[in-house]
Amino acid sequence: MTFSISELLAQHSTDKFDLYEQYLNNQLVRVLKTIGYDRHYKKAVGQYLYDQDGTEYLDLLSGFGVFAIGRNHPTVISALKETLTLELPNLVQLDVSVLSGLLGREILKTTPDNLNKIFFCNSGTEAVEAAIKFARYTTKREKIVFCDHGYHGLTMGALSLVGDEIFREGFGPLLPGCISVPFNDLNALEKALSGKDVAAFIVEPVQGKGVNIPDDNYLPEVERLCKKYGTLFVADEVQTGIGRTGKFWAIDHWNVQPDMICMAKALSGGFVPVGAVAMTQKIMDTVYNRMDRAVVHGSTFAKNNMAMAAGLATLHVMEAEKLVENSAKIGTDIINSLNALSGKYEFLKEARGKGMMIAIEFQSPKSLTLKAAWAMLEAANKGLFCQMITIPLFKEHHILTQVAGHGMNVVKLLPPLNLTTKDRDHIVSAFDKAIADTHQIPGSIWDLGKNLAGHALKGKRGG
């Protein structure tokens, strides 16, 4: 009997929701069915997904940002196939691998000059865990400062740096010594650091939850304050890195030099889990300071050949296809075109972002009928209005988007960086139509709104 993945997929072509409900997290299936996202995707190429009827969807979620070079990129596929067929000695452990050295070198070509060492791991949250441990060990201090509304991952250390209660509830006690300050608030940061007992300040250069962009002097001042008080400055670029914001690193918008950069998501083209921390030589040499500490922090699968090969191929594609430049150009076009609609629509507050990390924020309108309808949704569940945009975008315009976080009226776009001008025009006209429809009361979109509000209220009552 031969083993075949294609046969398995053919035999179970419509079983995925049943299997998932039975063996994995059935609440996720409930959510997908409730909002009508229960599709059977069969194929994915570049920025597009295709369902079993051959319908094309423009994917502006890109697996939460991992498919920056697009899905199933042929260059990465061929690098992975080649790596497999070479029968390389993978993960020998009492050895080092050439591919990890090469990927480390390529990444460090892109980072600020003060960073010249790399640590590899398997995910964004693991990169943050490493940064926490490395900062504590290097500074001999315990405290870590993070920002309100920041997101750094869901393992216990990283979770201790996530302010959002929905993620923390019931999982405590978390790491001691983690203190939050408002994002973009230098006075609060200075106050938190001034006791000279903080190991690290960790910050996303552009916050993922809500796509919050700091003032231009914020990160340069963060760097200065961290130096002044002996705190390590950690840039969490797990989401913003590798071209997402229209520069290779988001910190490049402000020319700052953090002591560590955490990265993951886009680094391996979406094929293999990977994470990394770029750091100063001093941090690396302090943590790994003796031979008996050579493996004091690490992970069994880190630096595996598939992740390293995918990383090398992905960085090659980023450069060959000029994806950073495309992210800046098409992303800015989308933001400007959506902002141009704001005069037309009371619900639309603004579009903001950098490159292809884009937020579209909605607001309570002035006219009475619209205001009452908005209030009905907010009372049922804060941020529910966004579903009245994302659901029609998906069902009518075949565009996959997400809300930017819990309890906020912000839709977020995190597309593959290879969007074309045709995709851009499709996005803008679809938003125009979807937003226009929300201004029609009564109308079918508000029937959906009432339905969603009903579900939300039932959920609150534990249904």
Distance CA 403, CA 385 (A): 10
403 within 8 A of 410, measured Cβ to Cβ: yes
Name which position in 111, 212, 239, 304 contacts ligand PLP (CB under 6 A): 239
Least distance to ligand PLP from the beta carbon of 214, Å? 14
Among 110, 123, 139, 160, binds ligand PLP (CB under 6 A): 123
| Binding span for ligand PLP by CB under 6 A among 30-38, 233-241, 317-325, 382-390 | 233-241
Tell which one of 124, 205, 392, 405 touches ligand PLP (CB under 6 A): 124
Q: Which sign, positive or negative, has the C-alpha torsion 188, 190, 192, 195?
A: negative
Give me the residue whose beta carbon is nearest to ligand PLP: 124
Number of residues that bind ligand PLP (CB under 6 A): 14
- Residue 200 CB contacts under 8 Å (≥ 6 apart), including other chains: 131, 132, 135, 136, 139, 144, 145, 231, 232, 233, 234, 259, 260
CB 144 within 8 A of CB 177: yes
CB 291 within 8 A of CB 265: no
Of 204 and 259, the one with the shorter C-beta distance to ligand PLP is: 204
For residues 249 to 278, the per-residue mask of contacts with ligand PLP, x marking binding by CB under 6 A and - elsewhere, is ---------------x--------------
- Around Cβ 1, how many Cβ atoms within 10 Å? 3
302 Rama class: left (phi>0) / alpha (psi -120 to 50) / beta: beta
Annotate each residue in 61-80 with x if it binds ligand PLP (CB under 6 A) or - if it does not, as one string.
---x----------------
d(CA 214, CA 80) in angstroms, rounded, equals 38
Hey, which bits of 280-396 come out as E strands?
348-354, 357-362
Interface residue with ligand PLP, options 83, 97, 110, 125 (CB under 6 A): 125
Alpha carbon distance 252, 246 (integer Å): 10
Shortest Å distance, C-beta 373 to ligand PLP: 32
Integer Cα distance of 145 and 189 in angstroms: 8
**Does the footprint of ligand PLP cover residue 204 (CB under 6 A)?**
yes
CB of 358 to ligand PLP, least distance (A): 15
Minimum distance, C-beta of residue 238 to ligand PLP, in the bound complex (Å) = 3
- Residue 241 contacts ligand PLP per CB under 6 A: no
136 to 155: interface string for ligand PLP, x by CB under 6 A: ---------------xxx--
Task: Find the binder of ligand PLP among 69, 118, 128, 380 (CB under 6 A).
Answer: 128
DSSP 8-state code for residue 405: S
- Among the candidate windows 108-116, 117-125, 320-328, 421-429, which touches ligand PLP by CB under 6 A? 117-125
Beta bridge partners of 119: 277
Residues that bind ligand PLP (CB under 6 A): 64, 123-125, 128, 151-153, 204, 208, 236, 238-239, 264
